[in-house]
Structure 1
Amino acid sequence: MSQLHFLDMYGALIAAPSISATVPSLDMSNREVINLLASWCESLGFAVEITELDNNPGKYNLAAKLGTGEGGLMLAGHTDTVPFDDSRWQFDPFKLSEQDNKFYGLGSIDMKGFFAFVLNALQEIDNDTGLTNLKQPITILATADEETTMAGAIEIAKQNKLKPARCIIGEPTDMVPVYTHKGHMSTAIRVTGKAGHSSDPDAGLNAIEVMQLVISKLLKLKEDIKNKYSLLDFKIPYPTLNLGHIHGGDNANRICGCCELHIDMRPIPGISIPELQAMLLQAVAPINDQYPNAVAVHDLHEPIPAFSGSTDSSLVKLAEKLSGEKAQAVNYCTEAPFLQQLGCETIVMGPGSIQQAHQPDEFLAMEKIKPSQEMIKQLIVASCF
């Protein structure tokens, strides 16, 4: 078997564009990344299965397994990246560039680069003792569309074919284990009024004015959930509600016939997505009583529930021991709540800083490479050998 060089793999992953976006003109297939991973996994003796997503043509998941039976360790990550603003990048997003002891590239830490760390660790184990000494199976999972719909992870959870005992999701945490995180809801609230000439306000129904009533209800809901729910594990210990985007009307001399508001909510463990959805509907119900069917509420994407793990799990304890860091709670979200449905102990832990995620000139600090490689190698050895 030919050697897989870390930087060669890293560079090849960066050079394979795999943007996922809600704007169709920016959205791409991830097949090139999947093909690279399939080739490298097969060279290490893994059995590889590639599946196209049921409702997303051109998007693929990869599951590569070494060993037989259930249990063992699954190392998971997503193959897509966010879009980029070319005017804000100093470097070519699709070329691994080195400068000032940093490696730059789109996906360098969020999170295609994680797969190069995993494969490098496996190759070192193979060189040291051989992968045939495996006592528990190793699975590499590469998913599609995490940055938009999380459709890849959702399909894996629904299929329920993978049965690892442990799962590490390699999102950038600076190799600090994360055992719990908030969820994410993006919701559109649309007010449909009745357009008309501004000279006769009573002849129409101004959607902007009705939206003002909606906003007042939402601000009350924001305070209610802040005061009712709290989990001190988090730096921001309560569920948040943000009014993120609003658009309504088309001209100053017309009664606004439609106004739409997009909000973001971040539930903590202990409050479910259906509960929050019910609270939203309950908040706007009096306005619909006053103006029948004027207010509609719908999700902008599949809601992501909060992820709740335990600091007492054997995987958390192992990760804390190897990293020298206490497990943390974070405010962003990952595929963890879906992959946890497979019945495995689950943590989020990977190379690179979350501060670089979704930023121009995304980079991996070179001094973090060796320590991260060693920790990932030790996690695999402790779980499977």
Structure 2
Amino acid sequence: MNNTHQKLPNFTQAITQLIAQPSISSSQASWDQSNESVITLLATWFETLGFTITIQAVPMVKGKFNLLAKLGSGDGGLLLAGHSDTVPFDENRWLSDPLKVTDNDNKLFGLGSCDMKGFFAFILQVCQQIDLKLLKKPLYILATADEETTMAGARFFANSGVIKPDVAIIGEPTNLVPVIMHKGHMSHKISIKGQAGHSSKPASGVNAIEIMYQVISELFKLREKLNLSYKNEAFDVQTPTMNLGAIRGGDNANRICGHCELDIDMRSLPGMKDEELVSWLSIALQPIAEKYPGRLTINELDPSSPSFQQAPDSDFVSTAEKLSGHSCCAVNYATEAPFIQQLGCQTIVLGPGSIDQAHQPNEYLAHSEISKTEILLTKLIHHYCL
């Protein structure tokens, strides 16, 4: 190991430094933070290793940046991608400081340890152990912004089309199992504008809760129709899903409710288009909208994230299965994979840690993941770049 590498942190030091840089993404402005300090840290490390660094501000979101590190020349190669942000946390539910790595019970506890700052610490460690001068194809490292909310970073990068690797790996926590399919995700707010009034004179007002009751009835019918019409046995939840997540309305028992809101999310199967789901939602609620003109509106809460599918018979999938020792699978949650796939590369989701720890208090990465992840990443870089 040369002197240049000695300036760089080892795995535990790297994950500790990354977690110490807060980079929360949230739709609530009071929680939302810039990811610039994480991006700057990654840039410093990979520049030391000889990578060419490009940092871009992500449009439409304040203080958010993507980083692309490139080493090697020519076409194709391997892209290792992940997001630099984390979800918010409830400090009262953590047994340790979320922004400090706590090593206990053969686990490294910390916010983002598996979802997914740890992935970048692994990449750094592996790159220090490989003779990068021998690269025959380029190695790319992408750190995106705002994955936990809008996926703005991945959307922006996909549209820029600056690279076209042969293959890409999104390092979300999958227990190192190659994920080749996942559902899409969209969320909407349904609003009912009623007419407030005194409860003793029901006819003098329009009760928004009563209209919302009719809306919910139609949503249940739509959900049942989707469950009967669409199924994919690769998923443990084999049908599309619709969740009624939050409802708000009214202010007092003796007042006619003047306004009611319902937040829902829908998760589509591969092959279903987002615009189809939105159309079905609109059609289902059209009779109520016509019955109460001007009182029902449907608005998108966050930009939708499409479903993802990589052909199971592709060379990349068979290679990932062989090198990881795991058969490919499908998952119910959404990732940046469909956006990275737009670069024109074969794409899978594969990373250390369990999704069961993601977004949870006392998030951790088990010690048992460390050597397995380093070995697998080394094999993948050798296979696609050396």
TM-score by length of 1: 0.98
Distance in 2 (alpha carbons) for counterparts of 1:24 and 1:218: 31
Residue 327 of structure 2 corresponds to which residue in structure 1? 326
Q: 2, 6, 10: which one pairs with 2:5?
A: 2
1:69 is displaced (CA, Å) by 3.1
Residue 128 of structure 2 corresponds to which residue in structure 1? 123
Distance in 1 (alpha carbons) for counterparts of 2:65 and 2:79: 18
Residue 187 of structure 2 corresponds to which residue in structure 1? 186
SS in 1 for 2:264: strand
Residue 351 of structure 1 corresponds to which residue in structure 2? 352
SS in 1 for 2:277: helix
1:79-228 alignment runs, 5 A limit? 79-125=84-130, 130-228=131-229
Distance in 2 (alpha carbons) for counterparts of 1:243 and 1:123: 48
1:70 is displaced (CA, Å) by 2.9
> Which amino acid is 1:268 matched to?
L
Residue 48 of structure 1 corresponds to which residue in structure 2? 53
SS in 2 for 1:355: coil
> Which amino acid is 2:5 matched to?
S
1:287-366 alignment runs, 5 A limit? 287-366=288-367
Distance in 2 (alpha carbons) for counterparts of 1:244 and 1:208: 16
CA contact (8 A) 2:73 2:136 kept: no
1:231-310 alignment runs, 5 A limit? 231-310=232-311
Distance in 1 (alpha carbons) for counterparts of 2:75 and 2:149: 30
Percentage identity across paired residues of the two chains: 55
**Does 2:37 match 1:32?**
yes
SS in 2 for 1:70: coil
Unaligned segments of structure 1, at least 5 residues: none
Distance in 1 (alpha carbons) for counterparts of 2:53 and 2:75: 16
1:294 is displaced (CA, Å) by 1.3
1:80 is displaced (CA, Å) by 0.3
Distance in 1 (alpha carbons) for counterparts of 2:373 and 2:210: 54
> Which amino acid is 1:231 matched to?
N
Distance in 1 (alpha carbons) for counterparts of 2:126 and 2:340: 22
> Which amino acid is 2:350 matched to?
M
Moved more, 194-203 or 29-38: 194-203
Per-residue CA deviation, residues 109-128 of structure 1 (Å, 9 max, x unaligned), is 00011001111111111xxx
Per-residue CA deviation, residues 271-309 of structure 1 (Å, 9 max, x unaligned), is 110000000000110001111121100110000110011
CA contact (8 A) 2:191 2:260 kept: yes
Distance in 1 (alpha carbons) for counterparts of 2:80 and 2:196: 54
1:75 is displaced (CA, Å) by 0.2
TM-score by length of 2: 0.98
1:15 is displaced (CA, Å) by 0.7
Distance in 2 (alpha carbons) for counterparts of 1:222 and 1:382: 45
Distance in 1 (alpha carbons) for counterparts of 2:228 and 2:124: 46
